[in-house]
Amino acid sequence: MSGRERETAQAVPFLGQEFLLWLYWRSSSDPYFFLDNQGLGSIDLRLEEQITLESLRGEGYRETIQTQEVALNDDIRDSVRTGRIPVAARVKVSRGKAEWQFILTALPLAMRSVKLPAPEKSEDDETMHLRLIQMEEIDRIMRALFKIFLAERTNPAFVSDIRTFLGLER
């Protein structure tokens, strides 16, 4: 995430939570994102194994649900319907043969415990260089997704579309 995007997310802390909710919604509907206009091709993004939800009402309720398919778990969708929003999730991003796994937190909006794609056998210096390129690549992917989220968030239908997805509107 760029410095300006990071400042925006920190200045408006709910954006991290909304971004995670948007990723949950979008990856539940269709895990494929086309980032061709960002020079990144297409990616597959899935929330896997674990998601942490927290109450919006300030009652201190927090739950972590562990399941193979976060997107297909009805308990998670029901929990979001009752006013709980994702604050952390385990994310898997695939692009071609490359695969990144990490925990995305909402407050602050950050990637943690990033597992990079396995490097091919090469010299140590070359391996280090490839790892740095992989870190830059996942950063560019997440920045591109955040830009898409911000663009969609300004669409007047955004709230209605999420409410419909959650079953709150028909």
How high is the pLDDT of residue 100? Answer: 92
How high is the pLDDT of residue 111? Answer: 92
pLDDT digits (tens, 9 = 90+) for 12-43: 667 888 899 889 888 887 777 778 777 788 88
pLDDT digits (tens, 9 = 90+) for 75-106: 888 888 887 888 999 999 998 888 999 999 99
The domain ranges of the chain are 3-163
> Who has greater pLDDT, 46 or 163?
46
Residue whose entry in the numeric block shows the structure tokens 């990856």: 27
Residue 123 pLDDT class (50, 70, 90 cuts): low
Tokens of 68: 């193979």
Q: What is the 3-state secondary structure (H, E, C) of 110-147?
A: EEEEEECCCCCCCCHHHHHHHHHHHHHHHHHHHHHHHH
How high is the pLDDT of residue 81? Answer: 80
How high is the pLDDT of residue 93? Answer: 92
Tokens of 27: 């990856």
Q: Are strands 42-55 and 84-95 parallel, antiparallel or unpaired?
A: antiparallel
Residue 10 pLDDT class (50, 70, 90 cuts): low
How high is the pLDDT of residue 77? Answer: 81
From CA 155, how far away is CA 143, in angstroms rounded?
19
The answer on pLDDT for 1 being more than 90 is: no
pLDDT digits (tens, 9 = 90+) for 125-138: 677 788 888 999 99
% of the chain surpassing 90 pLDDT: 23
How high is the pLDDT of residue 12? Answer: 60
| Average pLDDT, rounded, for the chain | 82
DSSP for 11-54, written as a single string: HSTHHHHHHHHHHHHHHHH--EEE-GGGT--EEEEEEEEEEEEE
